Structure formats: C-alpha cells, structure tokens
Structure 1
Amino acid sequence: MYLVDTNIWLERLLDQAGSEEVGQFLQRVSNDRLYLSDFTMHSIGIILLKLDEAATFARFVQDVLIDGVVRLVALQPEDMTNVTDAAKKYKLDFDDAYQYSAAGKFNFHIVSFDSDFDRTDRGRKLPGEIEPEHARSDEAQSEE
C-alpha cells in the first residue's frame, strides 16, 4: 500500500515536470492500493485555491476521493507525539513528519519526490520505481 505525498498529486494537477511519471504511476497502480492523508488533501486545497484553481481542487476531490477508490487516512490527536518525535529525530518539517507518521501508523510505503524522507528509516519511493507487479500484488508488499 502506498501513501501518496502532496507533491506527487500537485505534480500531476499542475502539469509540472514530473507529471508524466506520476501519470504512468497512477495507471500502473491499482487505486485501491493508494492512500492520501487528510493533511495532503488540505494542503492541495490551500495551494490550488491560492493559485485561483478552486475548480481543479473540486475536480480532484470528486475524481480521486468521491468517485475514485483512493482512501483518505488521518492521524488523531494522540498521534501528534509521534509527529513531533519524527520531526525532531529526522529533522523534518511538520508536513513531512505528519506523512511519515501516517505511513508508519498504517504501514504504507511513502511515494514522494521529497528527498527529506531519505533521512528516515522508512525512506521513500519515487513513482517511477514502483513496478506494476509490485504495485498490484499484496504479497509483494509484504515481502518488501
């Protein structure tokens, strides 16, 4: 299972340099194996509204979360100690520490372009590193 970081979604939504790689990743991986955090959803909303892209945000929520099968996960107040501990231990900002903690809580791989995750014990995967056979197989997930 994969926790897809904010920058992955934004890369595609804003048609940035890695958009094609993200598009291929989203085609290779079954949507029911993809998760995003509530923090990611809110961050995307903040960024897109700041860019006057409210319609893009509404379409993203509709397509990915409402009509799609990508699932939303959230940390609870009692998880915030893990977030602050991760921030201190790995020198992460709050959003990266939140993603790291969510991935740990739910046992997900982090998919991100953010190299800050390389300092952690969980690491990260780039979208292009995820092979189709691993992307669709629960057995492959448990072997990693």
Structure 2
Amino acid sequence: MYIVDTNVWLERFLEQEKAEEVRDFLNQMPSDQLCLTDFALHSIGIVLSRLGKREAFVRFVRDAFVDGVVSLVRLDFEDMEALVQIMARDNLDFADAYQYRAAEKYGLVIVSLEGDFDRTALGRKTPAQVLQER
C-alpha cells in the first residue's frame, strides 16, 4: 500500500507541471491501495480554502473517502517523540516527518514529488515510478 504525500494531491488540484502524471497514477491505482494522513487531509483543506477552491475540497473528500476507499491514517500521541527524532535525523520538516512516521508505522511506501524523502531510509517513489513497477 502507498501513502500519498500532500504535494501529489495538490499537484493535481492546482494543475501544476506533473498534474498529468498524478492524474494517470490516481486513475490507474485502485483506491484501496492508497492512504492519506489526517495531517495531509487537513493541509489540503487549508491550501484549497485559501485559494478559494472549497468545493474542490468537498469533491476530493467525497471522491476519496465517501465514494472511494482511500484509507485515512493518523499518528497517536505516542508517535510524536519518534516524529521529532525523524525531523532531527533526516532533516525533515514537521509535515514530511509526519508522513514518514505514518509510512514507517503502517508499513507503507511513500509516494511523493518531493526529493526530501530521498535522503531517508524509506526513500520515496514518484507516481510514475509506481505505475512503471505495476
């Protein structure tokens, strides 16, 4: 299973440079193989709200969780010490360390467009890499 980083979802919503790659990934991957952290969900909501795309957020929640079967994963209070250690060890910001800890805890592969995960033990795959490996 895959944990899909915030930047992947936003790439599609904001029609950025790799939006087509992300669209292919999301269209071809069974949604029951995808996970999203609660932190990422809230971050997406904040970004889309600030950009005046509130309806896009509602559609996203409906498509992913109501009509789809994307899993929502979260960290517990007990995970926060490990998260802070990950921040220090791998020089990740809080958001990336949250994703990393969730991937570590639940045995997930990180799918991200950011290279920050490349310097970690878990690494990451791009959406295109995941599709190539199928």
TM-score, structure 2 length as denominator? 0.96
Percent of residue pairs identical: 51
- Tell me the CA shift for residue 133 of structure 1: 6.1
Unpaired runs of 5+ residues, structure 1, are 135-144
Root-mean-square deviation over aligned CA pairs: 1.0
- Tell me the CA shift for residue 104 of structure 1: 0.2
**SS of match in other structure, 2:124:** coil
**Paired position in structure 1 for 2:107:** 107
**Paired position in structure 1 for 2:85:** 85
- Tell me the CA shift for residue 132 of structure 1: 6.2
The 2-side partners of 1:133 and 1:79 are apart by: 31
**SS of match in other structure, 1:63:** helix
The 2-side partners of 1:72 and 1:42 are apart by: 11
**Paired position in structure 1 for 2:45:** 45
Unpaired runs of 5+ residues, structure 2, are none
Is structure 2 residue 110 aligned with structure 1 residue 131?
A: no
TM-score, structure 1 length as denominator? 0.90
- Decide whether the 8 Å contact of 1:28 with 1:132 is kept in 2: no
- Tell me the CA shift for residue 41 of structure 1: 0.2
- Decide whether the 8 Å contact of 1:34 with 1:71 is kept in 2: yes
Is structure 2 residue 21 aligned with structure 1 residue 21?
A: yes
Aligned residues: 134
